Structure 1
Amino acid sequence: MESSRRVAYLVLSIILVNWTCLAKAANNTGLGASFIFGDSLVDAGNNNYLQTLSKANIAPNGIDFKASGGNPTGRYSNGRTIGDIVGEELGTSNYAIPFLAPNATGKSILNGVNYASGGGGILNATGRIFVNRIGMDVQVDYFNITRKQFDKLLGPSKAKEYIMKKSIFSVTVGANDFLNNYLLPVLSIGARISESPDAFVDDMINHFRNQLTRLYQLDARKFVIGNVGPIGCIPYQKTLNQLKQDQCVDLPNKLAAQYNGRLKDLLAELNDNLPGSTFVYANVYALVMELITNYKKYGFTTSSKACCGNGGQFAGIIPCGPTSSMCSDRSAHVFWDPYHPSEAANLILAKKLIDGDTSHISPMNLRQLRDH
């Protein structure tokens, strides 16, 4: 009698455990896969596998990244990127895996794949100063490979539904097209003489239209596109131009604002012209500017000095590496290094994109997009 009761308890326990696992899986079905495209703001380690001058797989990068035990992963941050945090908050059980990582095969890709690359841009010439990087055209080519893998893993009809209905495509790109192309003194002086800002932005928008349309043709339907942030306010630009703490460089910010206006129009056009698509515009410029201007309100002590870097008043010339000086309280800095936000800043930005109102993200936020 006692042993049969034990068996009954054991069976009941197994059933309950299975139910719990199924319930968790059901909750996680909210977001199937997170596909991440873009530049170093969201690169999760693709550049580790390239012969490139743009790398972040050196200490102290990743010092606060719990999943690696504080070891560098190739993320250009002390911790998680915005892409990592968004995926976590929306219910994927693992971070999107870098496309070039050797373990980006089989079922590990079902949570999503990260194609982003430090130095990458919309235009193919962008970032050539780094020798190698993956621009948007090649990132879309790489997704085409993943798309075929999904057909093999799930079967064509399930794969199509999973990608169209359950997955989000996030694209954070454009800053390098200005910083490491148009505004780069050595490489672009010829381009700037021959191409006005209007013509350059036109070029970006036309290329980006094609890239996003190609993703749509590969069954992407839910998109979130980040605009270009206030690149004239990053520690690198402020140090280079010897500005005061509360000043930003005018030209890069003007170019970003000009592109952002055109980007908003492009997304409205794509929403109208590509049936069943939802293109969400993430106003990263306004969100980052708010953090930079009102940093004290968010618990930061500085929004002009890099936590990790060397050179000039704002430690803004030499990227973060083993010989860099590092601040004692990483959560008190808006910027981790001369270019990229700290994990503390990424957390605030991500939460506003996930649950924010239409002044931050429109026509809907990321939680609404997931459930749309």
Structure 2
Amino acid sequence: MESPITPFEPAIADEAIADLQQRLKLTRYPDEETVEDWSQGIPLAYVRELTDYWSAEYDMGRVCGTLNQWPNFLTEIEGLDIHFIYQRSPHSDATPLLLTHGWPGSVLEFRHVIDRLSNPTEYGGRAENAFHVVAPALPGYGFSAKPRAPGTTVQKIADLWIALMKRLGHERFLAHGGDWGSLVTQAVAVAPGTTCAGIHITLPVVAPDPETLESLLPEEVQALEAFNFYQDWDSGYSKQQSTRPQTLGYGLADSPTGQMAWIIEKYAQWCDCEVNGLRHPENAIPRDELLDTVMLYWLTNSGASSARLYWESFNNPDMAEIELSSAISLFPNEIFRSSERWARKKFLNLHYFNDKIAKGGHFSALEVPDLLTQELWQWREQLRALEIVA
């Protein structure tokens, strides 16, 4: 028997807030880094500043208050309670759109685009581009259940999402994702019996085309340089999470400051946040919004459970060709980039590709929600012109 869909109001007990406050006050810090930049990790002075702000000035009720701006629901699929936001559009002909976040993201990542996508006429868009927005939390993230056995891979999550969309009555839908959301969205596209009509992603995991390596385009040279930098200087977190997530989890579960540093260091590296040669995450995302994400991980004790997705799927991404109608929007400070000709080797029906976006990084929905919304609107219009969706 199919599990019901039940309304859900995210809430945190007062005792959890009191415990957090106590832990923040008792934070034990390491000694200061020996460099003047972020090359050894997030600087001590900034961590102290954030911890003090979190404890004394940050509104501890922000996370649940933000989530409860939209209708939240729970439903059990294959033994896992899945939390999701479901914002229906006031426009009757809206198209169902599945949004999938990544790590260290959450459903809060879509806070600035949910209303833009569901009610575009309030944001300078057209009613024809309206979406019914479905934004589920990945298993092990936030208020979704933590898997109690191995096997919750990217492909498994894709199956859960297709079942969720069917349960909501959306037999045919579109899907968008970034980070892990990109990989889940690609898995939705190739899942047996999928009813997804088209996908849009911001992180294409594409191998260089061997036939072009002797005549690389400038953007391909940059893509290889970015990949090499990631491998040499920016992938330590993924190695730990993909091999020993449980060991890491003890520190993340015990220290809110440790959880904060683990997350915000990646925002500093992956956002388009460099000003006058210096990177700082608050150049791209407000401090309170950064801490909102940290709060959601901390209060739901999701450090280890979210990291396990790396153990499940990071080392064996599906590089198979995708025949479903696909679209790619590449923001300038994305971790991995691809040329259009490389992308077309994997995405056989690549109907939209834009690598000329003015600004934005890995967290485009938070950093530049207007630009991401415009990309999704343009993709939607392209699908209409191709008669893939009405």
Q: TM-score, with normalisation over the residues of structure 2?
A: 0.32
Please tell me whether Structure 1 or Structure 2 has the larger radius of gyration of its CA atoms: 1
Report which of the two has the higher share of strand: 2
Q: Normalized against structure 1, the TM-score is what?
A: 0.33
Structure with the largest fraction of helix: 1
